[in-house]
Chain A
């Protein structure tokens, strides 16, 4: 797309988001707004995790750790940066926006770096072993935050004021970042690099034999997915009064896995559907009270037994609809 067209569509989408955001703020009760925000954050988590688990076929079950790194980094830097930025541009929406996005970038960067540190030694391992190592790293990260006094340790990090962290997170920002990340990962997935990642998933040894730099690509995908989790963590932090290590337990990693499983491992649109589904369903199931989690677990088991490929399998929604409508598929497209 030419740069002008790109700019035009970006502005259009931006205005659309802003408009929808305003409409939701007026029209929806706060509770529902929270769910919409959490759904968007889940989409980022799911699409990011899908890149490494689904597209590249490398199993990570400790992703909550990267979300934690992003959350704490964004929260800490956001709080510390705010006065500096306000000193430069005065307080107000501009300062908040700048501080917020800078904080998110820091969160993404540090989370991505952590992903690199974790991925580099671990990605030599295959299958189950990799899964367990990522679980281990996730726990180590959480325990480290639990012992970090300057970040509030077990009580959590609530910024410098009793009112807690500033509520920067809004519909516009969550979905703007979600769209950006989905576009980024989509582009990657349907590019040459993405095809190499899929090749690694299908048959790593064959891919290696075809001179694909498998380790480098795996680490890249891993870091990118960690960085997305970091962005999600930062967005999450600024819609809570504070963040605690307990919010990033193994349970959270499992939630993320449920998201991509439901939609279908390897499908980006599936991840989006799964992310929204998990955010909404858990809340809707509140009426079930203490049976909620038991049923959630049964749901997971049932999906694996009955339809492990999820709702969309590894296909994308547009392709699925095209097939349904009987139109011809372009040559060379994956099934």
Chain B
């Protein structure tokens, strides 16, 4: 029983990270109907930003007291800002010029950007996997036969906090409402005087920042980062967004958690060889049975 609980806990913490990344996918798709293939690389860059920020702030000299909390928060904020900048730059350079092109073109452009970032990272950071700096010193305790660490709890808490923050942002702030308007009907929003370019920029910025947070948490939990870490993780997070209903924020969270759980349970009880495959199987099943996702709404297509 404790094994099952352990697997569930691990699944939820992994799933929270997927959820954070999935939010970026779902928001961008909701607004631009574009699958931002490069989002996985933004996640990776965010993790590396945190790595370098932590090193710059002297994490290796932290000693037994651990890295002070305010510096850890600073690392998080700096990385999120850097990722936001990266996301906005990508949008400006690569997606905006092709915004009005047939859907195929931006998709391939996104794939190109993804490839570019992966290989640029390999060049800049060397392909060697790096251990993540101990921004949080790990504390373990046991609860009902299940090992829980402060890192896992932090992941869950931070992820939830960011998601609540995002929901508040979308519901209550002006920019958030503008985002929802643009997602509903971009032309009408423009006619209503909304600066769609600004809204799109904001969407990319917020989504990328969340992905960076996911990257740092991932590094803390999984210990290692490498330039190709965004490829598979990004893909799985995208599946999570689709599972929950692409364009739907709550759906992205639900999807992320479900994919995390499915992956962990498959690895634990079926075979670790299929942990990646299960995500794609879920993708296929959901797209065939319920393409709008679990929480999505069917949008009638106007001819």
Contact = CB atoms under 8 A, between A and B. Distances in A.
In-complex A–B contact (CB below 8 Å): yes
A231 interface: no
Interface in B93-118: 94, 97-98, 101, 103-109, 111-113, 115-116, 118
B35 A301 contact: no
Given A133-B284, A297-B115, A305-B98, A139 B277 contact: yes
A144 B277 CA distance: 8
B125 interface: no
A301 B110 CA distance: 8
B280 interface: yes
Contact of B119 (A125, A140, A294): A294
B291 A257 contact: no
A101 interface: no
A20 interface: no
A42 B107 CA distance: 22
Interface string A256-282: 010001000100000000000000000
Contacts of B283: 132-133, 136
Contacts of B116: 294, 297-298, 301
Contact of A293 (B105, B115, B273, B303): B115
Contacts of A300: 108-109, 111-112, 115
A146 B118 CA distance: 24
A304 B112 contact: yes
Q: Which of B33, B119, B242 has the most CB of A within 10 A?
A: B119
A140 B281 contact: yes
B238 interface: yes
Contacts of B111: 61, 254, 257, 300
B119 A265 contact: no
B193 to A, nearest CB: 29
A55 B239 CA distance: 28
A257 B33 CA distance: 21
A304 B277 contact: no
Given A128-B35, A131-B107, A296-B115, 14 more contacts: A124-B288, A128-B103, A129-B242, A132-B35, A132-B238, A132-B242, A133-B283, A136-B239, A136-B284, A139-B280, A146-B273, A301-B113, A304-B98, A305-B97
Interface of A: 59, 61, 121-122, 124-125, 127-129, 131-133, 135-137, 139-140, 143-144, 146-147, 205, 254, 257, 261, 265, 290-291, 293-294, 296-298, 300-301, 304-305, 308
For the complex of A and B, list the 8 residue pairs with the smallest distance between their C-beta atoms, beginning with the closest: A297-B116, A136-B280, A300-B112, A297-B115, A301-B112, A304-B109, A293-B119, A294-B119
